């Protein structure tokens, strides 16, 4: 019996980026199911860690999976549960987020969260050589946000860039709009905004436009949302760059895992997808008309 | 006593062979009943006889299981939920039926608000409400919230609400149970005014003198059966009682056995004051029954509630068996052998959604513990005892207390209070809504308690009851003690003189008289 | 017996009692404004005040609906998800209709109509299940909350539904512009609030809501059609959610599965901070308005200062909410 | 009075009436199990059933506490955040104490003690504000929900608090192992449920909770110390949250600001699905247990099939919750 079942577990689409993850995962599953009729996929999308653990437990005990591709919502909380899947003899691919003990996964397909922050910081430093004021709109208080924030702050340290304030905007547009409005009220001089996420950027941009201050500052987001990349490509001065952090990495991970079983090639090790700076020059290669993100 | 002959007057509303069962339990058996224009037709019967059920059927609140209703000679199915009001059939429920959050004016016009276009005529309604309350001699602010009113005032609001409707048939279920003499008279005036205009009134009461005074005809129910419908002239209170309970009722009140003058004082109150009463001092002796009379709102309840720790007392001292006590919670007073039975059985006395057993033992759960757990069997035994002692009649023992007849709820509450086996009992309107037969029984129980050496305070708006039971009577007026009567002084006239402020005595000389 | 009771003279209480319970939310509001002024000189600027009020208007309009639902003894947990679905469907309808109507107000009005219709239908759904199905409101609306949330996620395919850019440009002024310097959202909020207050105080419907919430049995025996009044509160809630969405969509031109998350909690909190009783029977719309503005100001003030770590935002919010209600706590029941 | 009425003999109704209201949650449960069996042959396996029950145990234990709070007419929205704080503090305490006690049960027991203590204190805090402060429970616990959530975010510095791995290894069996093949979480859940049912039905405290929830005034006049009983329900809730956390920490070994999000909603839903009335006055613990298992099974069943788009999980959940309660809806009040 060469039937293979692969479980795919991702966090629920609670904001734009995870929405993208859900979309790309399901797209990859549809595509690969057609190509490989002997591979069956089980997909689950979970709002929190206990639920995600429950989902992978169910995959093992009721769906008899052979491999698990997982983007853990909270890697620290998920580590021991993922280890149990591994201990049960399943092939494990971890995506994006590093587990808290090494050597659990067979394959690691990762984005670079500190790099996302550092890239943005480097660009802001170069764009404001004489120094300037930056406000930060953060995501939710979870580890990824902290890593990005630390990456940014580490990189900005020692420069003449002044971070005025940071606040959580919960990775959504409404809160991006709300927090940015208040920052605009509070700070008469802002040169750059780092939102670390394009959903937040979209809200912040509306607030900046409303205040009529779009000529004073620019916004650096992250994650590579189509709408922002398009603006970068168009040379919009408000969004001169973006930092890639594509949710499509989940598709890469699913493909690699599938080929482990179908292609007869041993897949293992670490695949790090860099957070690259998207500029007017390279924006074209990041555009994808079909992506919902 | 023969049934009233057909006088040829066409009845306005009549019931033919009405039967009613709740689930399996039958409560009315083939009742015939009719109401003539402009008459006052009283319904009497023991607690649980089915009076309230009958009039609920006559006003559409309940549908009969079988039988028919005729209105103006035509067979009708009355619409439910008080919609029969639109046809001129207005009901005052036995249990207060007001929403606590609303104001007096809101309540009086609820469901048929006066409007101008889509908007309420708020000022107009307030003014009309004030007018109606004025005709009833009730002094409450039309903007006062129902929750802030005393039980009696709430009842007056209900009456106001009902008489303000354009009624052809006005049905009142024990409207006077919580009213004092004065308010009852005001109500009767209004009823006479309405009947003179041709309005028919159905009137339920356990107070036989009221029936004699007001009713043209009387229908007697017993255990869901129609016993008779007779005209009042043919009756005496004794004969009504006999028809109701099926036997002679002699000696409603037991003989008084005055306690010895040297019996110890069990409860002594000195200069008690709360927000609503002041300067209250009296003694209660072992074996004594002390009546508290006064008009509604004179502060009798407030005194009782302050003594047992339900309300905060601003001044004064209370001694129990010579010890100064300072109850801040009811539990402490119950522990000390002092129990208070509220007059507000629906709001403060009983958990209407629960059964008889948990209600009976709620005050005294500690008595029914075995090894730290509740002993249901022991509770059941207590219920059996109380059912016998107070003649509680529940046709369906598993029914929620809210479904019991009003009088049986009252008896259950009595049973609940007595469960704590208090040495001193304060009973607030103990026989509210209770039929004469059971009343007699309760009076004997109270007398027996006193004879056993307990002490009883009876707060009552029924003067006869206070007079018939009490060894001494404290009359209150406007939050103060107006006078203390004893022996031959205890007469209706004397009590009223004090209660109305016509006579006043320095109470100090009287307290320990 | 003619002796009438020597009554304590009837208290002629003035119509409005300015007791703590009444001024509670206003006092809390005043304190917050003071705090804001102290913290930041820009606090009282036209821009800041209109910003705060305009973005509070969504929750505000929804909370006014919730005031009726709660006063009548009900509860609607689905409003946030309902807002997301309505926003999503409005956007989809507008995008679809562009080929028919072209870019312009035609499309937008059609979208608005669809939104209001959907809000009404959603309200009917909740209301029918609660009144005719006799299922606890908490459960029905928890259920529809999940259903609506799923629906918008499904419609957006996990991502974001975005309004056509040209239509969005036409529609934008509905959020950003105004009349005589007052942004439209604030105007609409004010109108809905005034209408709500009038309906609550001056119409039979408002009174019937209170009666039902206070004692359903009494209301029923007063020949009030309890089910219908309840149903109408849910429909009103649905329509008001839609009205809020009409103002929400032009702001960012998008809807996703995160739209309106936790709005229900915020709306209910505003209602209760405003002095309406959660168990029903008593509601006041102006209190709700105060509650909404209090919640809006808390967020604003947090963004205007830097002593409180952003990690502790929620704690600040929690403390203020408790304090706002502490200011109007009832006296110990007699 | 010798003539006693010819009474219809008091029906000795059997203690349990097997009407719809009683079997409602059980029927819903049975239907879900049937659905599960149809969908997947592995549904009824030992592994799957113990998985579902063990992971339902956290919410289950919390929901049993909520049953008491709700029966007594209260509400606690803070349980999810409280769980997060307790988990965070437990982990910090254990990590701190390693130098003192070394790796082993000493550290774990100290952590457990700290957790239970904190749960009790949190319950006291909620309870005191509600009873002595006379603030609406909804508002107090909404406030503390924000406060606790902030606190854990602050303690974790926006990230995750992780238990030392060696300690986690010692602690892990508390979740994953069991006694006679029954995992410990299930055992603890069962014990708490049985104790809860006994306390509710067979102690004065349980009776008092129902009395207070039914009519606070009557309770007060019946010499029940209303404030104390209420306070105890909140303390009980806090302690039970801590007990749930004692089982949660060995499963995840970490706590963050997302721990326990929306648990309050799930717990309240379980309580109401189980037949307890949200307005208080009537509660049943076994119903809550059924409610919790229903919610657990819904998630499990969704994982057993692949026809429903994962975007629509919430909709499925919503429909089942409504149906479960529809099965036990009351007859039209007479
Ligand atoms: N909704 C109900 N469900 C079940 N039993 C009921 C219901 N309503 C009334 N009963 C029963 O019907 C019987 C008659 O009650 P009803 O209230 O008519 O008595 P009543 O004559 O008015 O007594 P009282 O003088 O005490 O008010 C009682 O045994 C009562 O328990
Ligand atoms: N102004 C007030 N504010 C709050 N509570 C009050 C006020 N006045 C009286 N009460 C309370 O209302 C209840 C009824 O008191 P009240 O003095 O009206 O009764 P009463 O006249 O003694 O009794 P009855 O109505 O049987 O004659 C008591 O609990 C009392 O404490
Ligand atoms: Mg009756
Ligand atoms: Mg009074």
Contact indicator for A249, A17 with CB cutoff of 8 Å: no
Q: Which residues in chain D touch residue B330, judged by CB atoms under 8 angstroms apart?
A: 220-223
> Binning pLDDT at 50, 70 and 90, where does residue D4 land?
very low
Whole-angstrom Cα distance, residue B175 to residue B185? 12
Question: What pLDDT is stored for residue B8 in this prediction?
Answer: 64
Question: Does D contact B via 3+ CB–CB distances below 8 Å?
Answer: yes
Q: For residue C67, what are the contacts with CB-CB under 8 A and spacing of at least 6? A: C196, C200, C271, C274, C276, C283, C284, C285, C288
- Interface subset of B 323-342, CB within 8 angstroms of D: 329-331, 333-334, 340, 342
What's the pTM value of the predicted model, to 2 decimals?
0.89
Q: Mean pLDDT lowest for which of A145-154, B176-185, B504-513, C86-95?
A: B504-513
Contact indicator for B498, B485 with CB cutoff of 8 Å: yes
Whole-angstrom Cα distance, residue C91 to residue D48? 43
D47 touches chain B (CB under 8 A): no
Q: Which residues pair with A11 in a beta bridge?
A: A46
Q: Is the pLDDT of residue A268 over 80?
A: no
Question: What pLDDT is stored for residue B243 in this prediction?
Answer: 79
Sheet holding B338-341, edge to edge: B338-341, B424-428, B455-459, B289-294, B472-477, B480-486
Q: Which residue of C has its CA nearest to D316?
A: C147
B329: closest CA of chain D, how far (Å) = 7
Question: What pLDDT is stored for residue D330 in this prediction?
Answer: 55
Task: Tell which wins on pLDDT, B82 or B74.
Answer: B74
Question: What pLDDT is stored for residue D98 in this prediction?
Answer: 93
Question: What pLDDT is stored for residue C20 in this prediction?
Answer: 58
Contact B120 C207 (CB under 8 A): yes
- Choose among B150, B149, B143: nearest CA to B127: B143
- Percent of chain B exceeding pLDDT 90 equals 22
For C43-328, give the CATH class.
Answer: mainly alpha
Whole-angstrom Cα distance, residue B415 to residue B434? 13
Q: Which residue of D has its CA nearest to A12?
A: D311
Question: What pLDDT is stored for residue D11 in this prediction?
Answer: 36
Beta strand segments in D144-232, E: 160-162, 178-179, 182-183
In a mutational test of the D interface, the residue from C76, C80, C136, C299 whose CB has the highest number of chain D CBs within 10 Å is C136
C20 touches chain D (CB under 8 A): no
Which of B52, B205, B392 for mutating ligand 1's site (highest number of atoms within 8 Å of CB)? B52
C256 touches chain A (CB under 8 A): yes
Of these ranges, B283-287, C25-29, D10-14, D93-97, the one predicted with the greatest mean pLDDT is D93-97
Task: Tell which wins on pLDDT, B429 or C333.
Answer: B429
Q: Which residues in chain A touch residue C244, judged by CB atoms under 8 angstroms apart?
A: none
Q: What is the pLDDT of residues B213-261, one digit of tens each?
A: 888 999 999 888 888 888 888 888 778 777 777 777 677 788 888 887 7
Q: What is the pLDDT of residues B439-475, one digit of tens each?
A: 888 898 889 888 888 899 999 888 888 898 899 999 9
Where helices occur in B222-339 by DSSP H, the ranges are: 237-245, 300-307, 330-335
Average predicted confidence (pLDDT) for chain B: 86
Whole-angstrom Cα distance, residue D309 to residue A139? 27
Task: Please identify, by atom number, the ligand 1 atom nearest to the C-alpha of residue B174.
Answer: 27
D85 touches chain C (CB under 8 A): no
Domains of chain B: 13-244 (3.40.50.300), 250-337+422-513 (3.40.50.300), 357-419 (no CATH)
C15: closest CA of chain B, how far (Å) = 8
Where helices occur in B109-180 by DSSP H, the ranges are: 122-135, 151-164
Residue segments in chain C with a per-residue pLDDT below the cut of 50? 1-16, 332-334
What residue ranges line ligand 1, CB within 6 angstroms?
A: B 22, 27, 45, 47-53, 94, 394-396, 399, 403-408, 433, 435; D 334
Q: Is the pLDDT of residue D12 over 50?
A: no
> What would the mean pLDDT of B488-502 be, rounded to a whole number?
84
Nearest to B97 among C213, C218, C334 (CB): C218
C208 touches chain D (CB under 8 A): no
Task: Please identify, by atom number, the ligand 2 atom nearest to the C-alpha of residue B298.
Answer: 21
Chains touching chain C, criterion 3+ CB pairs below 8 Å: A, B, D
> Binning pLDDT at 50, 70 and 90, where does residue B7 land?
low
Question: What pLDDT is stored for residue B235 in this prediction?
Answer: 82
Of these ranges, B14-23, B430-439, D238-247, the one predicted with the greatest mean pLDDT is D238-247
- Percent of chain B exceeding pLDDT 70 equals 96
> Binning pLDDT at 50, 70 and 90, where does residue B506 land?
low
CA distances from B487 to A192, B253, B280, B435, B448 (A): 97, 15, 21, 27, 19
Question: What pLDDT is stored for residue D331 in this prediction?
Answer: 52
- Choose among B36, B35, B83, B49: nearest CA to B63: B83
Nearest to A23 among C157, C176, C304 (CB): C157
Ligand 1 centroid to Cα of residue B222, in Å, is 12
Pairing of the two strands A269-272 and A107-110? parallel
Ligand 4 centroid to Cα of residue B356, in Å, is 28
Q: For residue D20, what are the contacts with CB-CB under 8 A and spacing of at least 6? A: D327, D328, D329
Q: What is the pLDDT of residues D177-226, one digit of tens each?
A: 888 889 999 999 999 999 999 999 999 999 999 999 999 999 999 989 99
> Binning pLDDT at 50, 70 and 90, where does residue A290 land?
low
C100 touches chain B (CB under 8 A): no
B498: closest CA of chain D, how far (Å) = 31
Whole-angstrom Cα distance, residue C40 to residue D177? 57
Q: How many CA atoms lie within 13 A of C43 on its CB side?
A: 20
- Choose among D183, D150, D148: nearest CA to D264: D148
Which of B18, B21, B22, B31 for mutating ligand 1's site (highest number of atoms within 8 Å of CB)? B22
In a mutational test of the C interface, the residue from B61, B90, B99, B150 whose CB has the highest number of chain C CBs within 10 Å is B99
Question: What pLDDT is stored for residue C12 in this prediction?
Answer: 39
User: Is B186 touching ligand 2 by the criterion CB < 6 Å?
Assistant: no
Q: What is the pLDDT of residues A231-253, one digit of tens each?
A: 888 888 888 888 888 888 898 88
B141 touches chain C (CB under 8 A): yes
Nearest to B366 among D4, D6, D204 (CB): D204
Whole-angstrom Cα distance, residue C168 to residue B33? 73
Question: Does A contact C via 3+ CB–CB distances below 8 Å?
Answer: yes
Question: What pLDDT is stored for residue A49 in this prediction?
Answer: 84
Q: Is the pLDDT of residue B482 over 90?
A: no
Question: What pLDDT is stored for residue D238 in this prediction?
Answer: 97
D24: closest CA of chain A, how far (Å) = 26
Q: How is D92-111 classified by DSSP, letter by letter?
A: HHHHHHHHHH-SSHHHHHHH
> Binning pLDDT at 50, 70 and 90, where does residue B212 land?
confident
Domain ranges of chain D: 43-328
> Binning pLDDT at 50, 70 and 90, where does residue B19 land?
very high
Task: Please identify, by atom number, the ligand 2 atom nearest to the C-alpha of residue B151.
Answer: 25
Q: What is the pLDDT of residues D228-272, one digit of tens each?
A: 999 999 999 999 999 999 999 998 888 888 888 889 989 999 999
């Amino acid at each position: 019996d060469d039937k293979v079942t692969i479980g795919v577990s991702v966090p629920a689409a609670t904001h734009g980026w995870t929405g993208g993850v859900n979309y790309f995962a399901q797209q990859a599953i549809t595509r690969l199911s057609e190509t490989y009729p002997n591979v069956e996929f089980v997909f689950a999308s979970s709002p929190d860690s206990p639920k995600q653990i429950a989902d992978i437990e169910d995959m093992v005990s009721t769906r008899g999976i052979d491999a698990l591709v997982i983007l853990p919502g909270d890697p620290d909380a998920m580590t021991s549960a993922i280890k149990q899947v591994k201990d049960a003899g399943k092939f494990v691919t971890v995506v994006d987020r590093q587990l808290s003990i090494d050597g659990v996964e067979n394959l690691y397909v990762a984005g670079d969260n500190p790099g996302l922050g550092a890239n943005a910081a480097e660009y802001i430093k170069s764009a404001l050589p004489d120094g300037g004021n930056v406000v930060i709109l953060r995501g939710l208080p979870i580890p990824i946000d902290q890593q990005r924030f630390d990456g940014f702050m580490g990189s900005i340290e020692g420069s003449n860039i002044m971070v005025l304030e940071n606040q959580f905007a919960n990775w959504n547009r409404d809160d991006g709009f709300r927090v940015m409005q208040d920052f605009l009220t509070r700070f008469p001089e802002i040169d750059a905004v780092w939102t670390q996420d394009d959903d937040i950027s979209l809200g912040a941009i509306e607030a900046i436009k409303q205040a009529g201050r779009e000529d004073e500052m620019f916004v650096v987001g992250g994650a590579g949302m189509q709408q922002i990349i398009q603006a970068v490509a168009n040379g919009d001065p408000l969004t001169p760059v973006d930092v890639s952090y594509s949710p499509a990495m989940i598709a890469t991970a699913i493909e690699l895992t599938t080929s482990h079983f179908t292609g007869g090639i041993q897949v293992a090790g670490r695949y790090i997808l860099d957070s690259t700076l998207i500029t007017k020059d390279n924006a074209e290669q990041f555009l994808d008309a079909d992506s919902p993100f | 006593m023969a049934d009233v002959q057909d006088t040829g007057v066409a009845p306005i509303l009549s019931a033919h062979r009405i039967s009613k069962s709740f689930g399996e339990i039958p409560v009315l058996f083939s009742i015939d009943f009719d109401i003539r224009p402009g008459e006052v037709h009283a319904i009497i019967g023991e607690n649980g006889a089915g009076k309230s059920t009958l009039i609920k059927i006559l006003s559409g609140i309940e549908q009969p299981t079988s039988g028919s209703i005729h209105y103006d000679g035509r067979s009708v199915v009355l619409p439910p939920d008080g919609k029969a009001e639109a046809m001129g059939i207005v009901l005052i429920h036995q249990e207060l039926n007001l929403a606590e959050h609303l104001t007096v004016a809101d309540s009086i016009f609820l469901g048929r608000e006066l409007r101008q276009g889509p908007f309420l005529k708020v000022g107009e309604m307030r003014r009309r409400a004030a007018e109606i309350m004025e005709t009833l001699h009730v002094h409450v602010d039309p903007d006062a919230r129902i929750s802030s009113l005393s039980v009696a005032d709430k009842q007056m609001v209900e009456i106001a609400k009902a008489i303000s409707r354009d009624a052809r048939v006005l049905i009142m279920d024990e409207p006077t149970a919580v009213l004092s003499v004065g308010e009852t008279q005001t109500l009767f005036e209004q009823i006479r005014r309405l009947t003179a205009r041709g309005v028919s009134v159905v009137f339920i009461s356990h107070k036989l003198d009221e029936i004699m005074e007001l009713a043209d005809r009387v229908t007697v129910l017993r255990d869901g059966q129609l016993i008779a419908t007779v005209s009042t002239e043919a009756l005496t209170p004794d004969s009504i009682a006999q028809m109701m309970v099926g036997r002679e009722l002699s000696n409603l009140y037991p003989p008084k056995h005055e306690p010895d003058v040297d019996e110890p004082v069990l409860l002594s109150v000195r200069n008690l004051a709360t927000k609503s009463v002041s300067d209250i001092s009296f003694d209660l002796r072992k074996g004594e029954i002390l009546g508290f009379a006064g008009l509604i709102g004179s502060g009798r309840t407030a005194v009782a509630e302050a003594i047992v720790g339900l309300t905060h007392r601003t001044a004064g001292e209370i001694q129990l068996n010579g010890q100064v006590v300072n109850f801040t919670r009811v539990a402490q007073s119950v522990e000390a052998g002092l129990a208070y039975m509220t007059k507000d059985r629906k709001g403060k006395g009983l958990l209407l959604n629960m059964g008889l057993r948990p209600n009976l033992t709620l005050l005294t759960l500690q008595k029914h513990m075995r090894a730290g757990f509740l002993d249901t069997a022991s509770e059941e035994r207590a219920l059996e005892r109380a059912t016998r002692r107070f003649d509680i009649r529940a046709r369906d023992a598993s029914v929620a207390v809210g479904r019991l007849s009003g009088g049986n709820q009252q008896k259950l509450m009595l049973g609940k209070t007595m469960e704590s086996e208090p040495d001193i009992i304060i009973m607030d309107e103990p026989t509210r809504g209770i039929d004469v037969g059971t009343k007699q029984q309760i009076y004997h129980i109270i007398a027996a308690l006193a004879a056993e050496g307990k002490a009883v305070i009876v707060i009552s708006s029924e003067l006869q009851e206070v007079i018939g039971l009490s060894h001494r009577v404290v009359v209150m007026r406007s939050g103060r003690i107006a006078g203390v009567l004893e022996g031959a002084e205890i007469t209706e006239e004397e009590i009223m003189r004090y209660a109305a402020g016509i006579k006043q005595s320095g109470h100090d000389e009287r307290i320990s008289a | 017996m003619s002796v009438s009771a020597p009554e304590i003279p009837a208290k002629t209480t003035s119509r409005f009692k300015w007791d703590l319970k009444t001024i509670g939310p206003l006092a809390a509001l005043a304190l917050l404004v003071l705090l804001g002024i102290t913290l930041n000189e820009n606090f009282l600027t036209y821009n800041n005040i209109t910003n705060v009020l305009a973005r509070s208007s969504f929750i505000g309009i929804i909370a006014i609906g919730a005031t009726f639902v709660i006063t009548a003894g009900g509860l609607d947990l689905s409003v946030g998800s309902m807002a997301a679905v309505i926003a999503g469907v409005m956007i989809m309808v507008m995008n679809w209709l562009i080929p028919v109507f072209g870019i312009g107000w035609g499309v937008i009005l059609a979208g608005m109509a669809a939104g209001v219709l959907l809000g009404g239908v959603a309200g009917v759904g909740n209301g029918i299940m609660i009144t005719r199905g006799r299922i606890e409101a908490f459960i029905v609306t928890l259920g529809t909350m999940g259903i609506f949330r799923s629906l918008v996620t499904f419609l957006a395919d996990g991502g974001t539904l975005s309004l056509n850019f040209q239509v969005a440009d036409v529609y934008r002024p509905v959020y950003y512009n105004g009349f005589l310097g007052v942004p439209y959202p604030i105007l609409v909020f004010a109108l809905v609030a005034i209408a709500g207050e009038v309906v609550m105080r001056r119409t039979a419907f408002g009174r019937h809501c209170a009666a039902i919430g206070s004692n359903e049995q009494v209301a029923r025996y007063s020949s009030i059609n309890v089910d219908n009044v309840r149903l109408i509160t849910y429909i009103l809630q649905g329509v008001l959610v839609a009205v809020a969405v009409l103002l929400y969509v032009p702001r960012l031109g998008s809807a996703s599965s995160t739209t309106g998350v936790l709005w229900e909690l915020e709306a209910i909190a505003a209602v209760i901070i405003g002095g309406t009783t959660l168990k029903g029977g008593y509601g006041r719309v102006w209190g709700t308005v105060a509650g909404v503005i209090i919640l809006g100001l808390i967020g604003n003030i947090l963004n205007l200062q830097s002593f409180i770590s952003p990690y502790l935002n929620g704690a600040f919010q929690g403390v203020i909410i408790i304090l706002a209600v502490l200011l109007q706590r009832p006296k110990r029941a007699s």
